[in-house]
């Protein structure tokens, strides 16, 4: 790719203490930017000091939501190396999201290069404490100034990064989720498989309702029958019923999580019975009542998040005595071990910075 032009900040900030880190409220010293224009393609890759940029009020993304993003992390191992977790897979997923939103394809190698270059320059922002990481947010927005509804002819690709701790205030402790029979996130044939702003906007109202009821997140059921599990607001969902691990299939309504794929690969490697199939809320509740259920979410931000309680139609169902299940803990330890370089990485998921 063309050379990335670098303008370093004259006012570097001091990263906060690792002990204070939450999720998504602190950003580093620099950001990556690159523009697209029909006829010219993607051009002008550059790293500049982090800060606001200006957009015309009539800019397309602000009105019709033509935008996409992805999320991945960099980890500082005890060996001092910084590792990016599956950056190539995140770059390819960004492109798949671009496809759904009629956004011109980006070269995945260039996306990975933009991420590496930015993390390299801002590496002092990768926190040290176990459980912390540098969250990386590649984003594409439509920038053309117009109010007619059609795909934009110009775009901005940008990457921002910031140190984070646990996504949920519960940390690795079990969360409570509410299966909604009222609200839906996405429907097959729509945008559910894309990482686009619209899906998160669609989730806000239901999530607020759930939080009023004391739940951390919503478990979205399928939009047609309100019967089958789809996903949780910020993570894919998995259940273990007896010996079978089940997760909803990638049918177009849910996001193809990179952590989801990592977990399925690990489970299959451990010889476990894994099914990507529809699983109904009734099947899950029956297993909860029979004490045969373990449940967890998977996601870049959430990592592996145990579910300790499920709400549905005014009833509360405690899962696994409200405790983290044995398999959930093993998955967490293995994934986190690969990310920090303390566990073997036979699939080559953790990519060293500087290599």
Binding residue (CB under 6 A) for ligand COI from 15, 45, 67, 71: 71
Q: Given phi > 0 = left and psi -120 to 50 = alpha, else beta, which region is 233?
A: alpha
Three-class secondary structure of residue 176 per DSSP = strand
Nearest distance, CB of residue 203 and ligand COI, angstroms: 9
Q: Is residue 335 within a helix (H) or strand (E), and if so which, with residue range?
A: helix 326-340
Nearest distance, CB of residue 303 and ligand COI, angstroms: 9
Q: Is 300 a residue that touches ligand COI (CB under 6 A)?
A: yes
DSSP sequence for 223-261: TTTS-BEEEETTBEEEEEETTEEEE---SSSS---HHHH
DSSP β-bridge partners for residue 67: 141
- The CB-nearest residue to ligand COI is 71
Binding residue (CB under 6 A) for ligand COI from 234, 247, 324, 334: 234
Give the count of residues interacting with ligand COI (CB under 6 A). 5
Q: Is 139 a residue that touches ligand COI (CB under 6 A)?
A: no
Q: Which stretch binds ligand COI (CB under 6 A): 6-14, 30-38, 204-212, 295-303?
A: 295-303
Nearest to 264 by CA among 251, 250, 252: 250
Give 59 or 302: the residue with its C-beta nearer to ligand COI.
302
Pair type for strands 236-241 and 293-299? antiparallel
Q: Is 305 a residue that touches ligand COI (CB under 6 A)?
A: no
Q: Which stretch binds ligand COI (CB under 6 A): 279-287, 298-306, 320-328, 338-346?
A: 298-306
Cα–Cα distance between 173 and 285 in angstroms, integer? 21
Contact 153, 145 (CB under 8 A): no
Binding flags for ligand COI, 193-232, as an x/- string (CB under 6 A):
----------------------------------------
Q: Which residues bind ligand COI (CB under 6 A)?
A: 71, 234, 299-301
């Amino acid at each position: 790719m063309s050379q990335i032009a670098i303008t370093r900040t004259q006012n570097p900030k001091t990263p906060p203490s690792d002990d204070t880190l939450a999720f998504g409220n602190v950003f580093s010293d620099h950001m990556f930017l690159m523009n697209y224009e029909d006829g010219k393609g993607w051009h002008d890759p550059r790293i500049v000091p982090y800060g606001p940029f200006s957009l015309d009020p009539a800019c397309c993304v602000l009105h019709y939501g033509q935008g996409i993003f992805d999320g991945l992390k960099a980890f500082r191992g005890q060996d001092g190396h910084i590792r990016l977790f599956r950056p190539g897979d995140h770059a390819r997923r960004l492109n798949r999201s671009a496809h759904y939103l009629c956004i011109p394809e980006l070269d995945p190698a260039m996306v990975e290069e933009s991420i590496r270059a930015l993390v390299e320059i801002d590496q002092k922002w990768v926190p040290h404490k176990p459980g912390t990481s540098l969250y990386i947010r590649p984003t594409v927005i439509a920038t053309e100034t117009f109010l007619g509804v059609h795909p934009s002819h110009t775009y901005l690709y940008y990457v921002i990064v910031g140190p984070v701790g646990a996504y949920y205030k519960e940390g690795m402790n079990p969360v409570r989720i509410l299966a909604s029979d009222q609200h839906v996130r996405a429907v097959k044939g729509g945008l559910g498989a894309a990482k686009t702003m619209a899906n998160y906007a669609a989730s806000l109202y239901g999530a607020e309702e759930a939080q009023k009821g004391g739940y951390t997140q919503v478990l979205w059921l399928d939009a047609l029958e309100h019967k089958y599990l789809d996903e949780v607001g910020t993570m894919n969902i998995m259940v273990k019923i007896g010996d079978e691990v089940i997760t909803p299939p990638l049918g177009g309504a849910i996001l193809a999580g990179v952590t989801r794929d990592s977990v399925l690969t690990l489970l299959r490697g451990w010889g476990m019975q894994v099914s990507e199939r529809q699983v109904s809320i009734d099947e899950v509740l029956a297993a909860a009542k029979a004490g045969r259920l373990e449940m967890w979410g998977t996601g870049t931000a959430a990592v592996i998040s145990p579910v300790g309680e499920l709400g549905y139609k005014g009833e509360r169902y405690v899962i696994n005595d409200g405790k983290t299940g044995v398999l959930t803990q093993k998955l967490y330890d293995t994934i986190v071990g690969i990310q920090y370089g303390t566990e073997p990485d036979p699939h080559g998921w953790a990519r060293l910075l500087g290599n």
